[in-house]
Structure 1
Protein backbone atom coordinates (compact mmCIF):
# COMPACT_ATOMS: atom_id res chain seq x y z
CA UNK A 1 0.00 0.00 0.00
CA UNK A 2 1.39 3.36 -1.01
CA UNK A 3 2.29 5.56 1.92
CA UNK A 4 -0.09 8.53 2.13
CA UNK A 5 2.83 10.89 2.67
CA UNK A 6 4.52 9.72 -0.52
CA UNK A 7 1.28 10.06 -2.47
CA UNK A 8 0.77 13.59 -1.23
CA UNK A 9 4.36 14.45 -2.11
CA UNK A 10 3.89 13.17 -5.66
CA UNK A 11 0.65 15.14 -6.03
CA UNK A 12 2.31 18.28 -4.70
CA UNK A 13 5.20 17.86 -7.12
CA UNK A 14 2.82 17.36 -10.05
CA UNK A 15 0.78 20.40 -9.03
CA UNK A 16 3.98 22.44 -8.77
CA UNK A 17 5.06 21.47 -12.27
CA UNK A 18 1.59 22.22 -13.65
CA UNK A 19 1.64 25.66 -12.04
CA UNK A 20 5.13 26.32 -13.38
CA UNK A 21 4.10 25.26 -16.89
CA UNK A 22 1.00 27.46 -16.71
CA UNK A 23 3.03 30.50 -15.65
CA UNK A 24 5.60 29.80 -18.35
CA UNK A 25 2.85 29.57 -20.96
CA UNK A 26 1.35 32.88 -19.83
CA UNK A 27 4.75 34.59 -19.95
CA UNK A 28 5.38 33.19 -23.42
CA UNK A 29 1.93 34.31 -24.57
CA UNK A 30 2.53 37.81 -23.22
CA UNK A 31 5.89 37.96 -24.98
CA UNK A 32 4.08 37.34 -28.28
CA UNK A 33 1.58 40.13 -27.69
CA UNK A 34 2.41 43.82 -27.91
CA UNK A 35 1.51 45.24 -24.48
CA UNK A 36 0.33 48.57 -25.90
CA UNK A 37 -1.95 47.47 -28.73
CA UNK A 38 -2.67 43.87 -27.78
CA UNK A 39 -1.65 42.81 -31.30
CA UNK A 40 0.69 39.94 -32.03
CA UNK A 41 4.37 40.78 -32.04
CA UNK A 42 6.50 39.94 -35.07
CA UNK A 43 7.18 36.39 -33.88
CA UNK A 44 3.62 35.61 -32.84
CA UNK A 45 2.15 37.13 -35.99
CA UNK A 46 4.59 35.29 -38.28
CA UNK A 47 3.63 31.91 -36.82
CA UNK A 48 -0.06 32.54 -37.36
CA UNK A 49 0.34 34.16 -40.76
CA UNK A 50 2.30 31.17 -42.07
CA UNK A 51 -0.44 28.84 -40.85
CA UNK A 52 -3.15 30.94 -42.51
CA UNK A 53 -1.23 30.94 -45.79
CA UNK A 54 -0.89 27.15 -45.68
CA UNK A 55 -4.63 26.76 -45.13
CA UNK A 56 -5.75 29.56 -47.46
CA UNK A 57 -3.46 30.02 -50.47
CA UNK A 58 -5.65 32.92 -51.64
CA UNK A 59 -4.46 35.34 -48.99
CA UNK A 60 -3.06 38.85 -49.07
CA UNK A 61 -0.42 40.45 -46.85
CA UNK A 62 -0.36 44.15 -46.06
CA UNK A 63 1.97 46.58 -44.31
CA UNK A 64 0.71 49.88 -42.92
CA UNK A 65 2.83 52.78 -41.72
CA UNK A 66 1.30 55.77 -39.92
CA UNK A 67 2.19 59.06 -41.61
CA UNK A 68 2.56 62.08 -39.36
CA UNK A 69 2.97 59.99 -36.22
CA UNK A 70 6.29 61.54 -35.14
CA UNK A 71 4.92 65.12 -35.07
CA UNK A 72 2.01 63.92 -32.91
CA UNK A 73 4.45 62.21 -30.55
CA UNK A 74 6.79 65.21 -30.43
CA UNK A 75 4.09 67.85 -30.02
CA UNK A 76 1.66 66.12 -27.67
CA UNK A 77 3.91 63.64 -25.85
CA UNK A 78 4.37 59.88 -25.71
CA UNK A 79 1.02 59.27 -24.03
CA UNK A 80 -0.71 60.84 -27.02
CA UNK A 81 1.41 58.77 -29.38
CA UNK A 82 0.50 55.64 -27.44
CA UNK A 83 -3.18 56.53 -27.74
CA UNK A 84 -2.83 56.79 -31.53
CA UNK A 85 -1.01 53.45 -31.74
CA UNK A 86 -3.57 51.73 -29.52
CA UNK A 87 -6.43 53.09 -31.63
CA UNK A 88 -4.69 51.96 -34.83
CA UNK A 89 -4.32 48.48 -33.37
CA UNK A 90 -8.00 48.31 -32.43
CA UNK A 91 -9.10 49.53 -35.85
CA UNK A 92 -6.85 47.13 -37.73
CA UNK A 93 -8.08 44.22 -35.61
CA UNK A 94 -11.71 45.16 -36.27
CA UNK A 95 -10.98 45.52 -39.98
CA UNK A 96 -9.34 42.07 -40.17
CA UNK A 97 -12.32 40.45 -38.48
CA UNK A 98 -12.44 36.70 -38.03
CA UNK A 99 -10.64 35.90 -41.30
CA UNK A 100 -7.36 37.73 -40.74
CA UNK A 101 -4.58 38.31 -38.23
CA UNK A 102 -3.00 41.67 -37.38
CA UNK A 103 0.34 42.42 -35.77
CA UNK A 104 2.62 45.27 -34.80
CA UNK A 105 6.16 45.09 -36.14
CA UNK A 106 7.35 47.97 -33.99
CA UNK A 107 7.11 51.74 -33.87
CA UNK A 108 4.21 52.87 -36.05
CA UNK A 109 4.37 49.95 -38.49
CA UNK A 110 1.62 47.34 -38.59
CA UNK A 111 1.11 44.14 -40.55
CA UNK A 112 -1.81 41.87 -41.40
CA UNK A 113 -2.68 38.80 -43.40
CA UNK A 114 -6.25 38.61 -44.68
CA UNK A 115 -8.38 36.57 -47.03
CA UNK A 116 -8.09 37.72 -50.64
CA UNK A 117 -11.45 38.37 -52.27
CA UNK A 118 -13.06 40.45 -55.00
CA UNK A 119 -13.62 43.36 -52.60
CA UNK A 120 -10.09 43.51 -51.23
CA UNK A 121 -9.21 46.76 -53.02
CA UNK A 122 -12.30 48.49 -51.58
CA UNK A 123 -11.59 47.04 -48.15
CA UNK A 124 -8.04 48.41 -48.22
CA UNK A 125 -9.37 51.86 -49.08
CA UNK A 126 -11.76 51.50 -46.14
CA UNK A 127 -8.82 50.63 -43.88
CA UNK A 128 -6.88 53.70 -44.98
CA UNK A 129 -9.90 55.87 -44.21
CA UNK A 130 -10.35 54.12 -40.87
CA UNK A 131 -6.75 54.70 -39.80
CA UNK A 132 -6.89 58.39 -40.61
CA UNK A 133 -9.91 59.04 -38.37
CA UNK A 134 -8.95 61.37 -35.47
CA UNK A 135 -8.18 59.94 -32.04
CA UNK A 136 -9.49 61.79 -28.99
CA UNK A 137 -6.88 62.16 -26.23
CA UNK A 138 -7.34 64.44 -23.22
CA UNK A 139 -9.58 66.79 -25.16
CA UNK A 140 -7.29 66.91 -28.21
CA UNK A 141 -8.10 65.40 -31.62
CA UNK A 142 -5.01 63.64 -32.95
CA UNK A 143 -4.83 62.82 -36.66
CA UNK A 144 -2.41 60.76 -38.73
CA UNK A 145 -2.47 59.33 -42.23
CA UNK A 146 -1.47 55.86 -43.40
CA UNK A 147 0.61 54.45 -46.23
CA UNK A 148 -0.48 50.90 -47.04
CA UNK A 149 1.23 48.44 -49.33
CA UNK A 150 -0.21 45.00 -50.01
CA UNK A 151 0.49 41.89 -52.05
CA UNK A 152 -1.72 39.03 -53.17
CA UNK A 153 0.04 35.70 -52.80
CA UNK A 154 -1.70 34.36 -55.90
CA UNK A 155 0.12 36.94 -58.04
CA UNK A 156 3.61 36.21 -56.71
CA UNK A 157 6.04 33.87 -58.47
CA UNK A 158 7.00 32.58 -55.02
CA UNK A 159 3.80 32.51 -52.92
CA UNK A 160 5.46 32.62 -49.50
CA UNK A 161 5.04 34.92 -46.53
CA UNK A 162 8.56 36.27 -46.99
CA UNK A 163 7.96 37.13 -50.65
CA UNK A 164 4.61 38.74 -49.85
CA UNK A 165 6.14 40.89 -47.10
CA UNK A 166 8.90 42.02 -49.46
CA UNK A 167 6.38 42.98 -52.16
CA UNK A 168 4.12 44.76 -49.66
CA UNK A 169 7.09 46.62 -48.19
CA UNK A 170 8.20 47.80 -51.63
CA UNK A 171 4.66 48.94 -52.40
CA UNK A 172 4.39 50.84 -49.14
CA UNK A 173 7.63 52.75 -49.57
CA UNK A 174 6.91 53.51 -53.20
CA UNK A 175 3.59 54.97 -52.02
CA UNK A 176 5.44 57.27 -49.64
CA UNK A 177 7.89 58.40 -52.33
CA UNK A 178 5.31 58.91 -55.07
CA UNK A 179 2.78 60.76 -52.92
CA UNK A 180 5.39 63.29 -51.84
CA UNK A 181 5.58 64.26 -55.51
CA UNK A 182 1.80 64.17 -55.88
CA UNK A 183 1.76 61.19 -58.25
CA UNK A 184 -0.39 58.09 -58.21
CA UNK A 185 1.08 54.61 -57.93
CA UNK A 186 0.27 51.49 -59.93
CA UNK A 187 2.47 48.57 -58.98
CA UNK A 188 2.33 44.87 -59.90
CA UNK A 189 2.04 42.35 -58.39
CA UNK A 190 1.46 44.43 -55.28
CA UNK A 191 -1.00 47.24 -54.86
CA UNK A 192 -1.08 50.26 -52.59
CA UNK A 193 -3.14 52.95 -50.92
CA UNK A 194 -2.04 56.57 -51.08
CA UNK A 195 -1.31 57.72 -47.54
CA UNK A 196 -4.76 57.30 -46.13
CA UNK A 197 -6.63 59.26 -48.78
CA UNK A 198 -10.14 57.92 -49.47
CA UNK A 199 -9.91 56.69 -53.05
CA UNK A 200 -10.68 53.58 -55.09
CA UNK A 201 -7.61 51.46 -55.65
CA UNK A 202 -6.44 50.33 -59.04
CA UNK A 203 -4.94 46.86 -59.44
CA UNK A 204 -2.16 46.20 -61.91
CA UNK A 205 -2.78 43.49 -64.45
Structure 2
Protein backbone atom coordinates (compact mmCIF):
# COMPACT_ATOMS: atom_id res chain seq x y z
CA UNK A 1 0.00 0.00 0.00
CA UNK A 2 1.44 3.37 -1.01
CA UNK A 3 1.88 6.11 1.64
CA UNK A 4 2.64 9.81 1.43
CA UNK A 5 5.42 11.30 3.56
CA UNK A 6 5.52 15.03 4.06
CA UNK A 7 9.03 16.34 4.74
CA UNK A 8 9.75 19.92 5.62
CA UNK A 9 13.27 20.24 4.30
CA UNK A 10 15.19 21.98 1.58
CA UNK A 11 14.66 20.51 -1.82
CA UNK A 12 18.17 18.97 -1.87
CA UNK A 13 17.59 17.08 1.39
CA UNK A 14 14.13 15.98 0.24
CA UNK A 15 15.64 14.48 -2.88
CA UNK A 16 18.19 12.64 -0.74
CA UNK A 17 15.44 11.31 1.53
CA UNK A 18 13.33 10.02 -1.40
CA UNK A 19 16.37 8.40 -2.98
CA UNK A 20 17.17 6.63 0.29
CA UNK A 21 13.66 5.16 0.35
CA UNK A 22 13.93 3.98 -3.25
CA UNK A 23 17.18 2.04 -2.81
CA UNK A 24 15.72 -0.86 -0.77
CA UNK A 25 12.75 -1.10 -3.15
CA UNK A 26 15.06 -1.29 -6.14
CA UNK A 27 17.14 -3.95 -4.42
CA UNK A 28 14.10 -6.15 -3.78
CA UNK A 29 12.96 -5.75 -7.39
CA UNK A 30 16.33 -6.86 -8.73
CA UNK A 31 16.34 -9.81 -6.34
CA UNK A 32 12.84 -10.89 -7.43
CA UNK A 33 13.75 -10.68 -11.13
CA UNK A 34 16.93 -12.68 -10.53
CA UNK A 35 15.05 -15.34 -8.57
CA UNK A 36 12.43 -15.64 -11.31
CA UNK A 37 15.13 -16.13 -13.93
CA UNK A 38 16.84 -18.82 -11.85
CA UNK A 39 13.55 -20.68 -11.37
CA UNK A 40 12.84 -20.50 -15.11
CA UNK A 41 16.27 -21.91 -15.94
CA UNK A 42 15.84 -24.68 -13.35
CA UNK A 43 12.48 -25.67 -14.84
CA UNK A 44 13.95 -25.79 -18.34
CA UNK A 45 16.88 -27.91 -17.17
CA UNK A 46 14.48 -30.30 -15.44
CA UNK A 47 12.29 -30.55 -18.54
CA UNK A 48 15.30 -31.23 -20.79
CA UNK A 49 16.87 -33.81 -18.47
CA UNK A 50 17.46 -37.11 -20.27
CA UNK A 51 17.53 -40.67 -19.04
CA UNK A 52 21.24 -41.63 -19.12
CA UNK A 53 20.67 -45.17 -20.39
CA UNK A 54 18.17 -44.59 -23.20
CA UNK A 55 18.58 -40.89 -23.96
CA UNK A 56 14.82 -40.44 -23.64
CA UNK A 57 13.07 -37.67 -21.76
CA UNK A 58 12.51 -38.17 -18.07
CA UNK A 59 9.04 -38.06 -16.56
CA UNK A 60 8.95 -34.27 -16.12
CA UNK A 61 10.24 -33.46 -19.58
CA UNK A 62 7.95 -35.97 -21.21
CA UNK A 63 4.92 -34.67 -19.31
CA UNK A 64 5.58 -31.10 -20.44
CA UNK A 65 5.87 -32.02 -24.12
CA UNK A 66 3.04 -34.55 -24.04
CA UNK A 67 0.70 -31.94 -22.62
CA UNK A 68 1.66 -29.56 -25.42
CA UNK A 69 0.93 -32.22 -28.04
CA UNK A 70 -2.46 -33.06 -26.53
CA UNK A 71 -3.48 -29.42 -26.32
CA UNK A 72 -2.24 -28.56 -29.79
CA UNK A 73 -3.55 -31.50 -31.81
CA UNK A 74 -6.73 -32.36 -29.90
CA UNK A 75 -8.55 -35.32 -31.47
CA UNK A 76 -5.50 -36.18 -33.56
CA UNK A 77 -3.29 -36.64 -30.49
CA UNK A 78 -2.49 -40.08 -29.14
CA UNK A 79 -0.95 -41.02 -25.79
CA UNK A 80 0.66 -44.46 -25.65
CA UNK A 81 1.92 -46.45 -22.66
CA UNK A 82 4.36 -49.33 -23.18
CA UNK A 83 5.44 -51.97 -20.69
CA UNK A 84 7.96 -54.69 -21.63
CA UNK A 85 6.69 -58.22 -20.95
CA UNK A 86 8.79 -60.66 -18.89
CA UNK A 87 11.57 -58.10 -18.54
CA UNK A 88 12.65 -59.53 -15.19
CA UNK A 89 13.41 -62.83 -16.92
CA UNK A 90 15.78 -61.02 -19.28
CA UNK A 91 17.61 -59.38 -16.38
CA UNK A 92 17.81 -62.69 -14.56
CA UNK A 93 18.95 -64.58 -17.66
CA UNK A 94 22.46 -65.46 -18.86
CA UNK A 95 23.12 -61.95 -20.14
CA UNK A 96 22.13 -60.37 -16.84
CA UNK A 97 21.51 -56.65 -16.51
CA UNK A 98 23.71 -55.91 -19.51
CA UNK A 99 21.21 -57.74 -21.70
CA UNK A 100 18.37 -55.88 -19.99
CA UNK A 101 20.08 -52.57 -20.71
CA UNK A 102 20.43 -53.51 -24.38
CA UNK A 103 16.73 -54.28 -24.58
CA UNK A 104 15.81 -50.99 -22.92
CA UNK A 105 18.06 -49.03 -25.28
CA UNK A 106 16.69 -50.85 -28.32
CA UNK A 107 13.12 -50.21 -27.20
CA UNK A 108 13.89 -46.51 -26.81
CA UNK A 109 15.35 -46.37 -30.33
CA UNK A 110 12.31 -48.11 -31.79
CA UNK A 111 9.84 -45.87 -29.98
CA UNK A 112 11.71 -42.76 -31.10
CA UNK A 113 11.69 -43.91 -34.72
CA UNK A 114 7.98 -44.73 -34.53
CA UNK A 115 7.04 -41.40 -32.94
CA UNK A 116 9.05 -39.29 -35.37
CA UNK A 117 10.79 -36.00 -34.73
CA UNK A 118 7.64 -34.23 -33.53
CA UNK A 119 6.59 -36.86 -31.02
CA UNK A 120 7.53 -37.02 -27.34
CA UNK A 121 9.01 -40.23 -25.94
CA UNK A 122 9.82 -40.71 -22.27
CA UNK A 123 11.04 -43.42 -19.95
CA UNK A 124 8.81 -43.38 -16.89
CA UNK A 125 11.01 -45.77 -14.98
CA UNK A 126 12.15 -49.39 -15.15
CA UNK A 127 10.76 -50.97 -18.31
CA UNK A 128 7.89 -48.50 -18.67
CA UNK A 129 7.72 -45.97 -21.50
CA UNK A 130 5.29 -43.36 -22.74
CA UNK A 131 4.76 -41.69 -26.10
CA UNK A 132 2.69 -38.70 -27.17
CA UNK A 133 2.28 -38.25 -30.90
CA UNK A 134 0.00 -36.82 -33.58
CA UNK A 135 -1.88 -39.64 -35.33
CA UNK A 136 -5.31 -39.05 -36.85
CA UNK A 137 -8.22 -41.44 -36.19
CA UNK A 138 -8.05 -42.94 -39.71
CA UNK A 139 -4.43 -44.11 -39.24
CA UNK A 140 -4.52 -44.97 -35.55
CA UNK A 141 -5.22 -48.71 -35.81
CA UNK A 142 -2.58 -49.29 -38.49
CA UNK A 143 0.09 -47.31 -36.67
CA UNK A 144 -0.52 -49.14 -33.39
CA UNK A 145 -0.27 -52.48 -35.18
CA UNK A 146 3.04 -51.34 -36.67
CA UNK A 147 4.29 -50.42 -33.20
CA UNK A 148 3.34 -53.83 -31.84
CA UNK A 149 5.31 -55.57 -34.58
CA UNK A 150 8.27 -53.24 -34.18
CA UNK A 151 8.60 -53.84 -30.45
CA UNK A 152 8.28 -57.60 -30.88
CA UNK A 153 11.46 -57.91 -32.93
CA UNK A 154 14.30 -59.75 -31.15
CA UNK A 155 17.13 -57.67 -29.71
CA UNK A 156 20.75 -58.65 -30.24
CA UNK A 157 22.84 -58.54 -27.08
CA UNK A 158 26.43 -59.64 -26.41
CA UNK A 159 28.16 -62.28 -28.55
CA UNK A 160 25.45 -62.08 -31.19
CA UNK A 161 22.84 -63.65 -28.92
CA UNK A 162 19.28 -62.58 -29.71
CA UNK A 163 16.71 -62.04 -26.98
CA UNK A 164 13.02 -62.39 -27.68
CA UNK A 165 11.03 -59.42 -26.48
CA UNK A 166 7.39 -58.42 -26.35
CA UNK A 167 5.52 -55.40 -25.08
CA UNK A 168 2.08 -54.56 -23.78
CA UNK A 169 0.67 -51.39 -25.34
CA UNK A 170 -2.22 -49.18 -24.33
CA UNK A 171 -3.29 -45.98 -26.09
CA UNK A 172 -5.74 -43.18 -25.44
CA UNK A 173 -7.05 -40.38 -27.64
CA UNK A 174 -9.03 -37.20 -26.91
CA UNK A 175 -11.26 -38.15 -29.84
CA UNK A 176 -12.48 -41.22 -27.94
CA UNK A 177 -12.39 -39.91 -24.37
CA UNK A 178 -13.63 -36.39 -25.06
CA UNK A 179 -10.82 -34.65 -23.18
CA UNK A 180 -7.29 -33.39 -23.79
CA UNK A 181 -6.41 -33.59 -20.10
CA UNK A 182 -3.11 -35.49 -20.01
CA UNK A 183 -3.76 -37.09 -16.62
CA UNK A 184 -7.02 -38.58 -17.89
CA UNK A 185 -5.41 -39.77 -21.12
CA UNK A 186 -2.52 -41.39 -19.25
CA UNK A 187 -4.86 -43.08 -16.79
CA UNK A 188 -6.90 -44.54 -19.63
CA UNK A 189 -3.83 -45.60 -21.65
CA UNK A 190 -2.38 -47.29 -18.56
CA UNK A 191 -5.62 -49.16 -17.85
CA UNK A 192 -5.93 -50.20 -21.50
CA UNK A 193 -2.35 -51.48 -21.48
CA UNK A 194 -2.97 -53.74 -18.51
CA UNK A 195 -6.30 -54.97 -19.83
CA UNK A 196 -4.41 -56.29 -22.86
CA UNK A 197 -1.35 -57.56 -20.96
CA UNK A 198 0.44 -60.41 -22.76
CA UNK A 199 -2.13 -60.52 -25.57
CA UNK A 200 0.32 -59.34 -28.24
CA UNK A 201 -1.93 -56.50 -29.37
CA UNK A 202 -2.32 -52.81 -28.64
CA UNK A 203 -5.49 -51.76 -26.84
CA UNK A 204 -7.15 -48.40 -27.54
CA UNK A 205 -8.80 -47.08 -24.40
CA UNK A 206 -12.52 -46.51 -24.19
CA UNK A 207 -14.42 -44.35 -21.68
CA UNK A 208 -14.46 -47.23 -19.17
CA UNK A 209 -10.67 -47.16 -18.91
CA UNK A 210 -10.67 -43.53 -17.76
CA UNK A 211 -12.51 -44.43 -14.54
CA UNK A 212 -9.86 -46.83 -13.23
CA UNK A 213 -8.42 -45.42 -9.96
CA UNK A 214 -4.79 -44.40 -10.23
CA UNK A 215 -2.05 -42.52 -8.40
CA UNK A 216 0.42 -40.38 -10.34
CA UNK A 217 -0.78 -41.86 -13.62
CA UNK A 218 -0.27 -45.47 -12.47
CA UNK A 219 -3.03 -47.86 -11.54
CA UNK A 220 -3.52 -48.41 -7.84
CA UNK A 221 -4.05 -51.83 -6.33
CA UNK A 222 -2.77 -53.75 -9.37
CA UNK A 223 -1.76 -57.32 -8.44
CA UNK A 224 1.93 -57.49 -7.57
CA UNK A 225 2.30 -53.74 -7.01
CA UNK A 226 2.02 -51.31 -4.16
CA UNK A 227 -0.20 -48.22 -4.12
CA UNK A 228 2.26 -46.35 -6.34
CA UNK A 229 2.24 -48.98 -9.05
CA UNK A 230 5.73 -50.13 -8.14
CA UNK A 231 6.73 -53.79 -8.09
CA UNK A 232 6.13 -55.31 -4.71
Range of TM-score over shorter length: 0.7 to 0.9
Aligned: 1:106 with 2:135:
no
> What residue number does 1:79 align with?
98
Mapped contact 1:105–1:111 kept (Cα < 8 A): yes
Q: Distance in 2 between the 1:186 and 1:47 partners?
A: 23
Q: Distance in 1 between the 2:149 and 2:122 partners?
A: 19
Q: Distance in 2 between the 1:31 and 1:84 partners?
A: 23
Q: How many equivalent pairs are there? A: 165
Q: 1:40 to 1:69 in 2, by over 3 A?
A: same
In the TM superposition, what are the counterparts of 1:153-168 in structure 2 within 5 Å? 153-168=174-189
Q: CA deviation at 1:159?
A: 2.5
Q: Distance in 2 between the 1:30 and 1:151 partners?
A: 23
Q: CA deviation at 1:99?
A: 3.0
Q: Distance in 2 between the 1:53 and 1:70 partners?
A: 33
Aligned: 1:36 with 2:53:
yes
In the TM superposition, what are the counterparts of 1:87-98 in structure 2 within 5 Å? 87-98=106-117
Q: 1:64 to 1:115 in 2, by over 3 A?
A: same
Alpha-carbon displacement from aligned partner over 1:23-60 (angstroms, at most 9, x marks no partner)? x87x9369721111100011000011111222211201
> What residue number does 2:72 align with?
55
TM-score with structure 1 setting the length: 0.72
> What residue number does 1:17 align with?
none
Q: 1:39 to 1:187 in 2, by over 3 A?
A: closer
Paired residue secondary structure (1:119): helix
Paired residue secondary structure (1:95): helix
Alpha-carbon displacement from aligned partner over 1:162-193 (angstroms, at most 9, x marks no partner)? 0000000110011117x4xx9997852489xx
Question: Structure 2 stretches of 5 or more lacking a match?
Answer: 1-37, 210-232
Which one has more relative contact order, counting CA pairs under 8 Å at least 6 apart? 1
Alpha-carbon displacement from aligned partner over 1:51-83 (angstroms, at most 9, x marks no partner)? 122221120101010112111110121011000
Aligned: 1:64 with 2:82:
yes
Mapped contact 2:168–2:201 kept (Cα < 8 A): no
- Runs of 4+ in structure 1 displaced over 4 angstroms? 182-187
**Considering only aligned residues, what root-mean-square deviation do their CA atoms show, in Å?**
2.8
TM-score with structure 2 setting the length: 0.64
Rg comparison, structure with higher value: 2
Q: Distance in 1 between the 2:56 and 2:88 partners?
A: 21
